[in-house]
Amino acid sequence: MDALTAKLRSSPFIARVAPYIIFVALTALQGKFGEASKYWFYVAKTIVGVWLVCAMWPVVKEMRWTFSIEAVLVGVGVIVVWIALDPFYPKLPMGESTPWNPHAQFGAGSALAWSIIITRILGSTFIVPHIEETFFRSFIYRYIVQKDFEQVSLKTFHLGAFLITSILFGFIHREWLAGILCGMAYQWLVLRKGHLGDAMTAHAISNFLLGAWVVYKGAWEFW
């Protein structure tokens, strides 16, 4: 484990790119070993994600939580738009045959189902924002501007990078249109503040509220 951590910290490029690739690879394995495996792989992915964030932390200095009213407003606004837009555009196929619903898989109201639901909410709130914001906003955006991306200030506005990064971020989600708008909102926070902290907070708020909506309304299609 120490050798893997050292490798992740060996360069600014690896520290920002490898965690995202590992996370996506684990996501791709969800459901490949039977229907129940999409839940167990999500749990495993979340545990691995904790290690990835810890490994990244000393290297990615801009990846520090910050809090502001703008972050809260963006986080809440994004999820309102995400849900409100949903009926009005076609979604991307993501390859899952059935909705992600632990109650249906493990028994309605069972302790196991709730444990997995809580794991997903915690993972999407506290792990996903670090990994995705670092990859898209710290690396991809700046790499499009200049190959030596660390020399590019996080406050640098570049229209091409702004659009491409937002579109790429949108298309990793089933709800691609809402994802693009979401990416633009998070990128605005980074441009405004010059760090990832507010975007991470907004991202965390959005993911937490979406999880709460899914559970409250039984709207499993959002997961």
Summarised one tens digit per residue, pLDDT across range 124-175 is 999 999 999 999 999 999 999 999 999 999 999 999 999 999 999 999 999 9
Angle between helices 197-217 and 69-85 (to 10 degrees): 40
Question: Which residues of the chain carry a pLDDT beneath 70?
Answer: 96-97
| Two structure tokens written together for 70 | 């703008």
Q: What is the pLDDT of residue 64?
A: 96
pLDDT of residue 220: 96
CA-angle at 84, arms to 80 and 90, nearest 5°: 130
In this predicted structure, what is the pLDDT of residue 75? 98
Position 19 scores a pLDDT of 97
- Collapse the DSSP code of 32 into the 3-class scheme (helix H, G, I; strand E, B; otherwise coil) and give the result: strand
Q: Which amino acid is at 4?
A: L
Residue 97: what pLDDT? 67
| The residue type at 169 | F
- Decide if 75 contacts 204 (C-beta within 8 A): yes
pTM, two decimal places: 0.95
* CA gap 154, 17 in Å, rounded: 17
pLDDT for residue 96 = 65
Q: Is 34 helix (H, G, I), strand (E, B) or coil?
A: strand
Start-to-end CA span in the chain (Å): 31
What are the structure tokens assigned to 121, written together? 């909410």
Q: How far apart are CA 44 and CA 72, in angstroms?
A: 29
pLDDT of residue 98: 80
99 SS3 class:
coil
CA 114 to chain centroid, in Å, comes to 21
* Ramachandran assignment for 218, one of left (phi > 0), alpha (psi -120 to 50 degrees), beta (any other): left
Provide Rg for the chain, Cα atoms. 17
Q: What pLDDT, on the 0 to 100 scale, is given for residue 4?
A: 82
The pLDDT of residue 138: 98
CB within 8 Å of 212: residues ≥ 6 apart: 121
Residue in this structure with the two tokens 């997903």, named with its chain if needed: 120
Token pair belonging to 74: 């963006």
The span from the CA of 159 to the CA of 161, in Å, is 6
Q: Is the dihedral of CA 125, 131, 136, 141 positive or negative?
A: positive
Residues 6+ apart with CB under 8 A from 115: none
16 phi, psi to nearest 5 deg: -100, -30
